Amino acid sequence: MKKHFLVLFLFCFTISNAQESKYAIIIHGGAGNGLVPGNYNEVQTAAFHHALNAALARGDSALAAGADALDVVSLVIQVLENDSLFNAGKGAVLTYEAKASLDASIMDGASLEAGAVAGVSCIKNPITAALSVLRHSPHVILSGAGADRYAQEKGSICVDPSYFIIPSKLKTIKRIRKEQEALDSAQNHKMGTVGCVVRDREGNIAAGTSTGGMMAKRYGRIGDSPIVGAGTYANNSSAGISCTGHGEYFIRNVIAFQVANRVDLIEESGQEAADYMIHDVLSSQKAFGGLIGIDRNGELFYSFNTTGMLRGFKREGEKAQTYIFSLEIEGDN
């Protein structure tokens, strides 16, 4: 009798905890040293806040309706990919050849399954292609024309490559090519990669990242965004992370995985792990960027070593918060 009572108690306790678990969502729209108040007027900052809030609202609505973390990450990133304010999807930065070359990845913290695409040129929402790879392919990363074709076969929308190009980005790449200073000029046009991490009511964590990469990139360069462990990582036992910044350094240091690993193995909080990887590891290498995440306890965190990072978050039942500039002037939403 006691044994049956104990089993019933544990069952009810588990159900109660599941019911009490609240969802959370955190997003970023890129980090950069050009993000300082003097560079943006009120209209421009309002546009950033509006865009971040629209993405959070889409995720909040889906989570409230019972959607799982993986689907919500895709839905939220699609909102950001469709907004030309960011360096992902429409309005992404262009290659040296004045073309869009897009990367994205997504990971399920419950199963550790992941999907990614690199160098796609006609998929309207690259994050949907990454999700298709996760769900339908035996592989993790597909690239180039093969990724475009695969995504179309799995239902992703294909558009003419001109869809991604907006006048301001075309003007910038023409200037860079004319001046033959692609590498130097590129440093001023990297901000805008987008990412999302979600923890749903079941306690499952998912993370995703989408980008157009580095302005004026050449020779098929691929950054950290489609690399699982570098730009994106999720594991229910530790944390979910999405990164933005100088991709080569995020790859070399496997930043996303290292944050999760520190949470799991040395029991740091997500915030402690993030701050160490950004401010100790990256800063010591004179590399710049930031990351967002949610740890296994549902705690939100973010860290960056630039003058600003477009970011926002929302917990179930609470007001959404969005920020643009540095921690010292937080509260700019």
Catalytic residue check, 172: no
- Amino acid letter at 321? Q
The residue from 95, 128, 172, 193 that is catalytic is 193
| Helix/strand/coil for 270 | helix
Task: Give the whole-angstrom CA distance, residue 325 versus residue 36.
Answer: 6
**Please, which residues have CB within 8 angstroms of residue 165's CB and are 6 or more apart in sequence?**
94, 98, 100
Beta strand 141-143 with 114-120: parallel, antiparallel or unpaired?
A: parallel
- Exposure string over 286-310, b if 16+ CB within 10 A, otherwise e: ebbbbbbbbbbebebbbbbbbbbbb
Q: Which two tokens stand for residue 47?
A: 């546009």
Residues 206 and 264 sit within 8 Å (Cβ to Cβ): no
- Catalytic residues, by residue number, are 193
